Chain A
């Protein structure tokens, strides 16, 4: 009996140590979905003048929500994170090189990324039909989908420069 109790205690302790590290509860998953740093980008080539083309992933309860989230992520990645290189394209730096720009200009970006917000002006092209096959992953509660986007990178940069959020290359001269 005593050996059984010791065995059970050890098992319980081991589970208590391992479970929190691996399992994601509902709240954590929600935070992860809404994270402003969690952009999944895959370059697909070099865009035409002033544009960037890439594949971007988004999350949502419905497929359409996930598509809109992906569009937001596409613009946000250009502003805060930059784009990785690959498929013939070189890495692209973020438009806002200033650290913590998203926090410093929180009010501006809240309005910029609101539902139907100005960010949509800089998405030129997406395969806006419902993603299918490997680009549409059914999760326990919702979807993770991938879309191909063309972001008007230069126009986005100029908008942020005019609004005083990003610094112009010739600022000060």
Chain B
């Protein structure tokens, strides 16, 4: 009892002290199975292999049931303080942004916007937690019922952080729309309880992210090169840095060679105090930037490449 009480107090104090951490973005995305099985798909040849991808735009434009479910879920999540990023609107925004970027030129020299191929690739609909949705209206004789499946997936760690699934009760009289609404209302409280457990874990043990250390091929050194006064291997120096800076030293070096290190389950603190003594929210970029500075002091330049709130790559050798 005393232990539970003290844990709660520590958690409450920690949350109060942390203030405003970086809020994850949530977005409902129909599952690949949902889109492809209903014909909302794009097919193309990739090096002789037929590849099938979901066509979200077609699904959202042609499937009223999907729109109904997304709207209902959005309403519930907004009420809980997590307004969902709307996939349809995001796709429209991206198209508009593409068009505007291509047309935009500077007034004095008519220069175009700088954009690398990577920048163009990065212009896709993104969220930190994807609500992967799938449902089916099934029939059993004259009765209809809904099979509902919703997964909350962390976009970076690929872990399922919450999930609900189940079949509703069969009905002859109720319309499919009503049954769908019932399915959402019925499952969302349980789904949100799963999300709550994930957030509580995040505040207690830090945000779980993924970091990759890579090496430019023209560097001339690699992760087995020795640095520092003690002549430690660079991979060991980096591992020690993670141990010192992760919450309770929690991280997992899941794979490594002389050219890369893949660090998963890296628990980064939610907040930190900056050089000016201000409390600031931490994301993977700011966390790895500290490592970048640490390595720079050792004479190792690097490029920091961000893949979202929860994943970053540090590429050693040059910017």
Contact present for A172 and B79 (CB under 8 Å): no
Q: Is the CB of B80 within 8 A of A169?
A: yes
Taking a contact as CB atoms under 8 Å apart, the answer to whether B82 and A153 are in contact is no
Is the CB–CB distance between B190 and A91 below 8 Å?
yes
Q: Does A127 contact B (CB under 8 A)?
A: no
A169 touches B195 (CB 8 A): yes
> Are B270 and A170 in contact (CB-based, < 8 A)?
no
The number of residues on chain B lying at the interface, defined by a beta carbon within 8 Å of a beta carbon of chain A, is: 35
- Name the CB-closest residue of A to B79: A154
Given contacts A45-B169, A171-B15, 14 further A-B contacts (CB under 8 A): A46-B186, A90-B166, A90-B187, A92-B189, A93-B190, A97-B193, A104-B8, A154-B79, A167-B196, A169-B80, A169-B196, A170-B81, A170-B82, A172-B15
Q: What residues on B are CB-neighbors of A34 within 8 Å?
A: none
Residues of chain B within 8 A (CB-CB) of A45 are 169
Residues of A within 8 Å of B260, CB to CB, are: none
Q: Are A100 and B15 in contact (CB under 8 A)?
A: no
Beta-carbon contact of A172 and B18 below 8 Å: yes
Interface of chain A residues 78 through 107 with chain B (CB within 8 A)? 85, 87-93, 97-100, 104
Contact flags B141-175 to A (C-beta < 8 A → 1, else 0): 00000000000000000000000101011000000
Cβ B5 vs Cβ A173 within 8 A: no
Q: Is the CB of A88 within 8 A of B168?
A: yes
29 A-B contact pairs sorted by A residue (CB < 8 Å): A45-B169, A46-B168, A46-B185, A47-B185, A48-B185, A88-B168, A88-B169, A90-B164, A90-B166, A90-B186, A90-B187, A90-B190, A92-B189, A93-B189, A93-B193, A168-B81, A169-B81, A169-B192, A169-B195, A170-B23, A171-B15, A171-B199, A172-B20, A172-B199, A172-B203, A172-B270, A173-B21, A173-B22, A173-B24
Report B-chain residues with C-beta under 8 Å of the C-beta of A163.
none
**Chain A residue nearest in CB terms to B271:** A172
Provide the bound-state CA to CA distance between A91 and B192, in Å.
Answer: 12
CB of B20 within 8 A of CB of A97, answer: no
A28 cross-chain contacts in B, Cβ below 8 A:
none
Contact A87 to B169, CB < 8 A, known contacts A47-B185, A173-B20:
yes
Q: Do A170 and B182 form a contact, CB below 8 Å, given A87-B169, A91-B190?
A: no
Instruction: Name A48's closest neighbour in chain B (CB-CB).
Output: B185
Contact residues of B between 9 and 43, Cβ < 8 Å to A? 15, 18-24
Contacts of B187 in A (CB 8 A): 90
Given A46-B182, A169-B199, A172-B15, is A100 in contact with B189 using a C-beta cutoff of 8 Å? no
Q: Within 8 Å of chain A (Cβ to Cβ): is B1?
A: yes
Q: How far is the CB of A106 from chain B (nearest CB, A)?
A: 13
What is the CB-to-nearest-CB distance from A153 to chain B, in angstroms, rounded to a whole number? 7
From the candidates A100, A153, A169, A172, name the one contacting B1 in the complex (CB within 8 A). A100
Residues in chain A within 8 A of chain B (CB atoms): 45-49, 85, 87-93, 97-100, 104, 153-154, 167-173
A48 to B79, CA, bound (A): 15
Cα-based distance from A87 to B167 in the complex (angstroms): 11
Q: Closest CB-CB distance, B126 to chain A, in whole Å?
A: 18
Tell me, rounded to whole Å, the shortest Cβ–Cβ distance linking A130 to chain B: 30
Interface pair B8/A92, CB less than 8 Å apart = no
On whether the beta carbons of B8 and A98 are closer than 8 Å, the reply is yes
Q: B4: CB under 8 A from chain A?
A: yes
When C-beta atoms are compared, the residue in chain B nearest to A45 turns out to be B169
Kindly report which residue of chain B lies nearest to residue A85, judged by CB atoms: B166
Instruction: Write out the residue numbers on chain B whose beta carbons fall within 8 Å of the beta carbon of A88.
Output: 168-169, 182, 186
Residues of A near B18 (CB, < 8 A) are 172
CB neighbours of A47 from chain B (8 A): 185
Q: Are A49 and B168 in contact (CB under 8 A)?
A: no
Minimum distance in angstroms from A161 CB to a CB of chain B: 10
In the assembly, what is the distance between CA of A90 and CA of B182, in Å?
10
What are the residues of chain B within 8 A of A49 when measuring CB–CB?
185
Smallest Cβ distance from A109 to chain B, in angstroms? 16
Task: Please measure, in the bound complex, the distance between the C-alpha atom of A85 and the C-alpha atom of B153, giving whole angstroms.
Answer: 24
Whether B189 pairs with A153 at a CB distance below 8 angstroms is yes
Instruction: For the complex, give the distance between the alpha carbons of A172 and B203 in Å.
Output: 8
Closest chain-B Cβ to A95's Cβ sits at a distance in Å of: 9
